[in-house]
Structure 1
Amino acid sequence: MFKANSFADVLKHLAIMAAIVAVLVVGFFYVYLPYTTNHGESIPVPRIEGMQLSDAEELLEDQNLRYFINDSTYKPDLEPFVILTQDPAPGAEVKEDRKIYISVNMKNPPMIKMPKLVDGSVKNAELILKSYDLKRGKITKIPDLQENAVLKQLVNGREVQPGEMIPKGSVVDLQVGDGLGNTEFEVPDVVGQPVDEASVALVGQGLQIGNIIYVQGSEEPDGTVLKQRPYPEVNAKIRVGEFVDLWVAGQEPIQGIE
């Protein structure tokens, strides 16, 4: 034991104790810790985005790094188990045994609910399909008075009801109205009628007035329908919503002048 015979001896003992403590502190922080934690040594993170999971696992193992899958999604245009994202980013300096967080592409698409497209427009259907990560397929026009309105939604040729579960990324075919309908009747004959009466008659039967061509030099009174297309031939049929062009006697009226 140290004996303190004087104040100087006390100071000497304190100085020795302080030196011992300093040596222990320096040894712990600058020798022991760097040795056990590889202080100052770092590894650049390799780029593993776009790689197959098995290949990335081998590469990380060679560099004493680990990985953890913290997310997954489905992209039909990529192969299954392709790495989509990584954190830390490529080139970041990390210590050995660091865990790299990744997201991968799923092998099978998740199931989602089919949205309601029926009764909406084609444009609206396209926006909805995109928001659900679905693809718009073939558009087929069928007779119906609702022009460009979605009447049926199909996946793999089968009609799918809203709320039914389908694979994410599915191709959805649409059947839409052609604006004409499927009701056929004989072409009405309006030749010889005044153009205003002929127009009312045609519109009253669900038809539309197409082009009106004025013909001068006719013997018929001005405003009389001279010819029409389609022609009222025997057994000639027309559907609701179709156009009828008219040729009218006289000079085309100037807009704004009665």
Structure 2
Amino acid sequence: FLIKKRFYIHLGLSIILTVILFFIVLQFIKIYSNHGDTYVLPDFSGKTLAEIEDDRYDQLYEFIVIDSIFDTHNPKGSVVIQNPPAGSVVKQYRKVYVTLVAYSTEKVEMPDLIDLSLRQAVNSLRSKGLVVNQLQYVEDFAGNAILEQLYDGEVIEEGSIIEKGSGIDLVVGLGQGHYAPIPFLVGLKLTDAIDAINKASFNVGNVYFLDGEDPEHDRVYRQRPAWDVSGQLFKGNTMNISLRSDLDFDFDALIQELKPDTMYFSDTTKIIKPEF
């Protein structure tokens, strides 16, 4: 009888301990997973991790950086991609994987531009993410050929590593013709207008944004010197441009107004003095 009694006591205690242990484990899981507590994930695009911490989001989620990319349109160190995406319903302490804008600037190799035509050189620079800083024309029989390539005033060799977006000075031969036709720029986006100015043998002067800066919609509204069917300008001179947004302006009508029929030709040549 005593043995049976002791057995039942031990059995009862075991059951009670099992129930208590199960309850403790259940509570621990509930606390750990915040059972029932869900949040709508905000959009962290454009924010740095420091800004996210300032807003105390690091107390709700765990942020894990999985990659970085080069991006000139967003602040360095800011979030450009997040997973799960904004608007997702998640639990507290959910891991949020983010891709940031790299703090360093992307590097590229300097191409060999020597003996290329000016047009070829501009295209080559653009393909590398580089730009023309200044065209310097010198007396040479090789008209519009690249004689030297300079970076920060010094000759730069092919293969040199420089920051993407850097400006390169090009020393160009004048050849026999010291003047070049003025390009028609109205309606072009900024990057295309800069290319057109450089390829036409001129430098970019002042750039004015009349409606604020918006790369997607800004187009050339005015150019100085103005385009003329027979107008020419000394090679290496500067051209100034003003831009407006195509959201608020009818550029098609302006182009039709400013540019005559393409079948019209003039036998006279006008030398245009630059306007500043």
* TM-score using structure 2 length: 0.47
* TM-score using structure 1 length: 0.50
* Larger-Rg structure: 1
